[in-house]
Amino acid sequence: MAFAIKTEIRDPDATSFSFGAQKTMYGGKHIAADDIIFLFASENEGGRGLFARGIVISAEPIARKQNVLRQTPRVSIVVRCTAFAQRPLGRRELKSFGTWQDGQPGTELNIKFYRQATNKIVGISDEAAAFLDRFFEHSEKEPGKDPDK
């Protein structure tokens, strides 16, 4: 299983990121080291959506608070970028995937990220991961380097 995170990104040109105590939904709590993750810069914080793909270097679950009945599981992760997106994919582009039962990977992402627009880590299907991979064509070089040189 692959994962995706939508959160505030302060430096989209960085080659590694540390995300502390992130909410998880849709299986996101199962993220572990060596998993593939797609990074979305949250539009709620001025981001532009999908911008990078990476590998999880470490993942640590956050202990639940005692005496609190309903808690969203949280995880802290460190990610190393492996590629930067070559085309935009955010709320605007995913809005057209609005037929909830159509089974399209774009619809899966729209539901998981924008039906409840909070920042979070989510598990995604193989089909959604393949869909996202298409936004990284010709970008397998080191982050920050020109992929055509």
Summarised one tens digit per residue, pLDDT across range 102-141 is 989 999 999 999 888 899 999 999 999 999 999 997 654 4
**Residue 123 is encoded by which pair of tokens?**
């598990």
Backbone angles phi, psi at 19, to 5 degrees: -120, 115
**Cβ-contact 79, 12 below 8 angstroms:** no
Between β-strands 74-84 and 16-25, what pairing exists: parallel, antiparallel or unpaired?
Answer: antiparallel
In the predicted structure, residue 146 carries a pLDDT above the cut 50: no
What length does the chain have?
Answer: 149
- pLDDT tens column, 85-100: 999 999 999 988 988 7
Q: Looking at residue 149, what is its pLDDT?
A: 38
> Which single residue is written with the structure tokens 């399209």?
104
Its pTM stands at 0.89
Architecture of domain 2-136: Roll (3.10)
User: Regarding predicted confidence, which is higher, 140 or 149?
Assistant: 140
What is the DSSP code string of 116-132?
A: S-S-EEEEE-HHHHHHH
Q: Looking at residue 132, what is its pLDDT?
A: 98
Q: Which residues touch 86 (CB under 8 Å, ≥6 apart)?
A: 135, 136, 137, 138, 139, 147
- pLDDT tens column, 16-74: 999 999 999 999 999 999 999 999 999 999 999 999 999 999 999 999 888 888 889 99
Q: Looking at residue 138, what is its pLDDT?
A: 62
Residue 81 forms beta bridges with which residues? Answer: 54
CA-to-CA distance for 86 and 135, rounded, in angstroms? 6
Q: Look up residue 30 and give its DSSP letter.
A: G
